[in-house]
């Protein structure tokens, strides 16, 4: 395919006249990585970069969409759900999050986290394959070049920031950030998504051309002996002074793909119930539980959150506020109509589990507080003092769903203290963090605008 004349401008191209500062700079790169012949891997080239790029092009939009929807699932404009910006500029797409299908958030967040983890080797391989571009000399040849390179900084910086904060979050290292995870990961996402979209638009034709330049099947049949560098490219990916190959393209693709499969295999179990959960070796939480009704994953234990067991004893009363204030003991609650549903707990960290919960409908509690289900949202407060998840708001739609419970029992037994005894919220399709444990008070009120 004939190149457009401008496309041939490579390392030696450029706008400046001979004798100018630009041409002097170009002729005198500093030593080390800025010298074109410093990068010697015979595998680097447009085809290899494009293979990794194609995988990322397929995966990153799924991660982006599931991630953005995950923010919407928080109904962040409701009081107490202040983990993210409200419906403003970045939250323009937020909507009243549905309670149906009950498994949606579970599948979505699992896909977000596990696909993100799985793509890490591909992302690293892609960055490795273009590393000489970070050191082109001079750093910018023109204003347009400077803008393009600045956008690459946002792209690479955004990708590294999003993957790193995501991994740190699921490994529960919240405390290492000097900022709050939720807004930082969201702002970073929009910067990354914008830079990614520009990058794809600019590079797509070149990627398609590069992918056509070799056959994947052919490469997968080629061993070390047959491994030759790609033809010299104007983009400067192919080594000018290639070393002897020490691994074939097949070997490199196998290494990266194998790494991805391994990560996938060791993390997907955290979203499955049953024996396969044991395979989730990368899951930071426990994987193996006893056979008891309360033997399933605990996110934050009562002790870790400093919940005083005395407050959850026989003196505990649920405060119901609406048109009037009502106080109910656990026995009072157990005497109300009870309902049982199998519903998931699905954490933003990606892990999830389905359990069978028994409790009082939030809609019935709204009525007891003098409110009309469908016309009342609820502010939930727990016995926990001060933790980020000690309170949350549920929308009118969430309160009205007949499967939304104040759960008292799980799998036929009383809730354990770690799972929220004396009572906890369970709402279909809600993020785990809105399933508040150790509930102390429910304040029903007319819906927020």
Ligand X SMILES: Nc1nc2c(c(=O)[nH]1)N[C@H]1C(S)=C(S)[C@@H](COP(=O)(O)O)O[C@H]1N2
> CB under 5 to 8 A by kind: which of Mo ion, ligand X, none does 43 bind?
none
Q: Are the beta carbons of 344 and 103 closer than 8 angstroms?
A: yes
Q: Which of residues 276-315 bind Mo ion (CB under 5 A)?
A: 299
**Using CB under 6 A, which of the segments 147-155, 166-174, 297-305, 326-334 binds ligand X?**
297-305
Work out whether 83 is an interface residue with ligand X (CB under 6 A).
no
Work out whether 436 is an interface residue with ligand X (CB under 6 A).
yes
Give the C-alpha separation, 45 to 49, whole Å.
6
Give the C-alpha separation, 421 to 419, whole Å.
6
Minimum distance of ligand X from residue 438's CB (angstroms): 5
Give the C-alpha separation, 288 to 405, whole Å.
27
Question: In sequence order, what are the residues at sequence separation of 6 or more whose Cβ sits closer than 8 angstroms to the Cβ of residue 251?
Answer: 224
Of 68, 130, 195, 305, which one interacts with ligand X (CB under 6 A)? 305
Work out whether 53 is an interface residue with ligand X (CB under 6 A).
no
Assigned token pair, 368: 């007891």
Q: Which residue has the tokens 């003098």?
A: 370
Distance in angstroms between the alpha carbons of the first and the last residue of the chain: 58
**Using CB under 5 A, which of the segments 246-254, 354-362, 395-403, 424-432 binds Mo ion?**
424-432
Site map 336..375 versus Mo ion, x via CB under 5 A: -----------x----------------------------
Site map 404..423 versus ligand X, x via CB under 6 A: ---------------xx---
Between 249-267 and 104-118, two packed helices, what is the crossing angle to 10 degrees? 150
Q: Does residue 32 come out as left (phi exceeding 0), alpha (psi in the -120 to 50 range) or beta?
A: left
Work out whether 169 is an interface residue with ligand X (CB under 6 A).
no
Q: Which is nearer to Mo ion, 239 or 433 (CB)?
A: 433
Q: Which is nearer to ligand X, 358 or 382 (CB)?
A: 382
Work out whether 435 is an interface residue with ligand X (CB under 6 A).
yes
**Using CB under 6 A, which of the segments 43-51, 174-182, 198-206, 384-392 binds ligand X?**
384-392
Of 432, 436, 443, 444, which one interacts with Mo ion (CB under 5 A)? 432
Question: Residues 394, 400, 404, CA angle at the centre, nearest 5°?
Answer: 70
Nearest Cα residue to 48 out of 114, 132, 167 = 132
Minimum distance of ligand X from residue 384's CB (angstroms): 4
Q: Are the beta carbons of 131 and 158 closer than 8 angstroms?
A: no
Any idea of the CA torsion for 20, 21, 23, 25, to the nearest 10 degrees? 170
Minimum distance of ligand X from residue 169's CB (angstroms): 11
- Compute φ and ψ for 2, nearest 5 degrees: -70, 140
Helix (H) or strand (E) holding 256: helix 249-267
Of 384, 409, 427, 428, which one interacts with ligand X (CB under 6 A)? 384
Work out whether 321 is an interface residue with Mo ion (CB under 5 A).
no
Query: What are the residues binding Mo ion (CB under 5 A)?
Result: 299, 347, 432-433
Query: What are the residues binding ligand X (CB under 6 A)?
Result: 297-300, 305, 345, 347, 382, 384, 387, 389-390, 419-420, 432-433, 435-438
């Amino acid at each position: 395919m004939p190149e457009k004349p401008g496309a041939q401008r490579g390392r030696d191209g450029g706008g400046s006249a001979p004798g100018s500062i630009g041409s002097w700079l170009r002729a005198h790169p500093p030593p080390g990585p800025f010298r074109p012949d410093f990068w010697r891997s015979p595998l680097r080239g447009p085809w290899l970069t494009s293979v990794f790029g194609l995988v990322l092009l397929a995966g990153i939009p799924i991660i982006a969409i599931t991630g953005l929807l995950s923010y919407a699932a928080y109904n962040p404009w409701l009081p107490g759900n202040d983990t993210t910006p409200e419906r403003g500029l970045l939250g323009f797409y937020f909507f009243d999050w549905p309670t149906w299908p009950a498994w949606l958030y579970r599948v979505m967040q699992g896909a977000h986290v596990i696909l993100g983890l799985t793509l890490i080797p591909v992302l690293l391989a892609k960055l490795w394959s273009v590393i000489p571009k970070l050191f082109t000399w001079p750093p910018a040849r023109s204003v347009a070049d400077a803008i393009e390179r600045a956008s690459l900084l946002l792209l690479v910086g955004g990708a590294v920031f999003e993957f790193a904060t995501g991994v740190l979050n699921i490994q529960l290292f919240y405390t290492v950030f000097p900022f709050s995870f939720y807004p930082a990961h969201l702002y970073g996402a929009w910067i990354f998504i914008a830079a990614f979209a520009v990058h794809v638009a600019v590079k797509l034709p070149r990627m398609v051309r590069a992918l056509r330049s070799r056959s994947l099947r052919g490469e997968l049949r080629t061993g070390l002996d047959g491994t030759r560098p790609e033809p010299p490219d104007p983009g400067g990916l192919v080594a000018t002074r290639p070393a002897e190959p020490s691994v074939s393209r097949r070997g490199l693709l196998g290494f990266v793909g194998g790494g991805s499969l391994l990560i996938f295999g060791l993390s997907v179990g955290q979203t499955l119930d049953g024996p396969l959960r044991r395979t989730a070796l990368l899951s930071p939480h426990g994987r193996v539980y006893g056979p008891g009704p309360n033997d399933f994953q605990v996110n934050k234990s009562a002790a870790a959150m400093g919940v005083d067991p005395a407050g959850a004893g026989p003196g505990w009363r649920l405060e119901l506020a609406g048109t009037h204030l009502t106080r109910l003991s656990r026995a009072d609650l157990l005497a109300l109509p009870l309902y049982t549903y199998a519903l998931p707990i699905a954490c933003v960290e990606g892990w999830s589990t389905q359990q069978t919960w028994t409790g009082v409908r939030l809609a019935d509690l709204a009525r007891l507080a003098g409110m009309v289900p469908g016309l009342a949202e609820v502010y939930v407060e727990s016995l926990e003092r001060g933790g980020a998840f000690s309170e949350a708001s549920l929308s009118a739609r969430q309160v009205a769903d007949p499967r939304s419970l104040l759960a008292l029992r799980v799998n036929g037994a009383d809730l354990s203290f770690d799972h929220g005894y004396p009572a906890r919220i369970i709402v279909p399709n809600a993020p785990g963090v809105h399933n508040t444990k150790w509930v102390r008070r429910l304040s029903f009120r007319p819906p927020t605008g």
